[in-house]
Amino acid sequence: MHKIEIIPLTGVEREFNENELIVSKTDLTGKLTYGNRLFFNLAGMNEEECLGKQHNIVRHPDMPRCVFDLLWRTLQAGEELFAYVVNRSSNGDHYWVFAHVTPSTDMNGTVNGYHSNRRSPNRTILNESIIPLYKRLLRVEKDDPSPRSGLEKSKAMIADLLAERKQGFNEFMFSLEG
């Protein structure tokens, strides 16, 4: 098991082709139950190192907590979320994705896990919209001495932004133009 949390970031971005998909699946608690080959390649870990571990094994410190808060609230409401995410590879490299995360169900329609498909993101959307937005959200979270109130503030920032644009989060994601 790599102790990726103590490996410094390299600043090197890993890219993948627009015709490729990164796939992973989790149980109801967010523990990895499946990854495709590209998932393991980019994470820089093999199946044995990943399966059974929490999906935050690829968490990058630049990601605002409010995005994951929204992700889990959305999944627990039985809905899907589209979001841009930066992940960390085990050697400290990073890779940006545009993710579609959704509950998966058994034959009776009972939710039995979660599933994420990720495409290569549009670079202009990242540079002009997502990276500046995530920086603002992260700063609000980090500047607050209380993690809890920092999270409430970044959540309120997203809520205000969506209210101003009269959009839901997924709609907002798809309205960004590159």
Ligand X SMILES: Cc1cc2nc3c(=O)[nH]c(=O)nc-3n(C[C@H](O)[C@H](O)[C@H](O)COP(=O)(O)O)c2cc1C
Contacts with ligand X, residue ranges (CB under 6 A): 24, 26, 30, 55-56, 58-59, 63, 68, 71, 75, 85, 87, 101, 114-116
Q: Give least dist CB 84 to ligand X, A.
A: 11
The partner residues of 26 in beta bridges, in order of sequence, read: 32, 114
Q: Give least dist CB 109 to ligand X, A.
A: 18
Q: Give least dist CB 149 to ligand X, A.
A: 17
Cβ closer to ligand X: 6 or 163? Answer: 6
Q: Give least dist CB 172 to ligand X, A.
A: 19
Cβ closer to ligand X: 101 or 173? Answer: 101
Cβ closer to ligand X: 72 or 165? Answer: 72
Q: Show the 3-state SS of 38-97.
A: HHHHHHCCCHHHHCCCEHHHHECCCCCHHHHHHHHHHHHCCCCEEEEEEEECCCCCEEEE
Angle between helix 147-165 and helix 65-76 axes, rounded to 10 deg? 70
Angle between helix 147-165 and helix 131-143 axes, rounded to 10 deg? 140
